[in-house]
Amino acid sequence: MKHMIKAVFLDFDGTLFSHRTEQIPDSTIEALRMLQEKGILVFLCTGRSLPEIHDFDLRGAVFFGKILLNGQVIYDKNDQILYHRPIDGELKDRLLDLFSNRKVPIYFSTDGGNYLNYVDDQVIYIQNAVSSDPPVLGSYQDENIYMATAFIGNQRQLEMIMSLRDIAEVTYWHAGACDIVPKGISKSIGINEALRIWNIDPSETLAIGDGENDVEMLKECAIGIAMGNSFDGVKEYADYVTDDIDEDGIYNALKHFKLI
C-alpha cells in the first residue's frame, strides 16, 4: 500500500541523537532539511522533557512540534504548551511515597523542571551513557508531575518499580532506567493528540524509534521504522528496519520510502 506521508515522528536518544558521537549525524540534519523542503512536518517524540532537549546542541534541527515525556505534553514550534496531562490519583500518591522514602533513585518531570530525590553511582553511570548530567536534587513542591524516571540497581528496587505496573506504564530506555506514566499512556496517545490538533490523518504518518517506549508509536503510525541499533524486541513491531544511527539510519530509511 502506498502512503502519502505528511508527518514524521522521531525519537531522540539513539534515533536522532547519537551518544557515541554526542551529536545529531550530518546525514540526519540533511534529511530533516529535505523533509521540510518538501513540506513534510517533522515532530520530535521522546521521553525527554523540554529543559533536557534544550541542553543539547540540535545543530539547527527544527521541529514543527514536540511530543515530550512519552506523550504527556505537546508543544508547538515556539515551545508553547498545546496539551498536557498531569499524573494524579493513586499513581501520584505511590510515586510521591517512592520519592520520599529514598529507596529508589527517582526523578520527576514537572512544570518547574526535573528534580531527583537522591544520587547514587547507578544514576551517574546511566546519565553519562545518555550524555546528560543527573537532574538537580529537590523536594516536591506541589507542581504538576507528568512523568517519573526510576534508576534500578538491584532486585529490591526492581520489585518496587514493577509493583506499579497495575496502574502505570513502565518502559525501559536503558537496562537500568525506566520511565513511568499512567496506565494506557504512551507516545501513541501523544501522537493521536497531535494529529487531532494539526488535523493530520493517521494514514499520513511515519515514525522512527529504537527503544521500548517507541513500540506503541511504531505500531500507531502508518509506517513504523526501527533503527538498526534498536533494543531487543523493538524491531519485530516495525514495518522496516533501517541502519544504525551512526550509519545514516534515518537518512537511509527516508530514502527507502522515497520521502527524500
Residue with cell 515514525: 207
Mean per-residue pLDDT, 138-147: 95
Is the pLDDT assigned to residue 174 strictly greater than 50? yes
Query: Any idea what DSSP says for residue 23?
Result: B
Q: Are residues 176 and 189 in the same domain?
A: no
Total number of domains constituting the chain: 2
The percentage of the chain sitting over the pLDDT mark of 70, rounded to a whole number, equals: 99
Residues 75 and 199 in one domain: yes
Mean per-residue pLDDT, 148-167? 97
Are residue 65 and residue 138 in the same domain, yes or no? no
Domain holding 137, by residue range, is 89-182
Query: Do the beta carbons of residue 68 and residue 48 sit within 8 Å?
Result: yes
The answer to whether position 2 is within a domain reads no
Q: Is the pLDDT of residue 1 over 70?
A: no
pTM for the whole structure:
0.93
* In contact, 171 and 179? CB cutoff 8 Å: yes
The strand pairing partners of 155, in sequence order, are none
Q: Give residue 2's pLDDT.
A: 60
Q: Within 13 A of 69's CA, how many CA atoms are on the CB side?
A: 29
In this prediction, residue 193 carries a pLDDT of: 97
Give dist(CA 225, CA 9) in Å, integer. 10
Q: Is a pLDDT exceeding 90 seen at residue 232?
A: no
Averaged pLDDT, 94-113: 96
On whether both 189 and 248 belong to a single domain, the answer is yes
76 plus 97 within the same structural domain? no
The mean pLDDT value of the chain amounts to: 96
Checking if the pLDDT of 167 tops 80, the result is yes
Residue where one domain finishes, among candidates 140, 159, 182 = 182
Do residues 99 and 125 both lie within one domain? yes
Beta strands in the chain (DSSP E): 7-10, 41-45, 65-68, 73-76, 81-84, 106-110, 113-116, 136-137, 145-151, 168-174, 177-182, 205-209, 223-226, 240-241
User: What is the per-residue pLDDT for 112?
Assistant: 86
**Is the per-residue pLDDT at 258 higher than 60?**
yes
Q: Are strands 136-137 and 145-151 parallel, antiparallel or unpaired?
A: unpaired
Say if 27 falls within a structural domain.
Answer: yes
Summarize the confidence of residues 18-30 as an average pLDDT. 97
Q: Are residues 99 and 149 in the same domain?
A: yes
Q: Can you give the pLDDT at residue 61?
A: 94
